[in-house]
Amino acid sequence: SKELKQAVLVLENMVADMEDFVIFLMSYPR
């Protein structure tokens, strides 16, 4: 459905933008 495709697109974009965030995240202590 259209709603499902829209959700996939939103998450695809989020994951694409996540790369820099993950690198930055790894610099934080546990």
Partner 1 sequence: TTTKEDLQRLLQLLLRISTVVEEAEGRRIENRAMVRQISIMREQMFRGYYLLDAFRC
* Residues making contact with partner 1 (CB under 8 A): 1, 3-5, 7-8, 10-12, 14-15, 18, 21-22, 24-25, 28-30
Helices then strands, counting H and E runs in the chain, come out as 2, 0
Report in angstroms how near the CB of residue 5 gets to partner 1 at its nearest: 6
Report in angstroms how near the CB of residue 13 gets to partner 1 at its nearest: 10
Tokens at 17, concatenated: 């933008």
Tokens at 12, concatenated: 């695809």
Report in angstroms how near the CB of residue 18 gets to partner 1 at its nearest: 6
Tokens at 26, concatenated: 């790894």
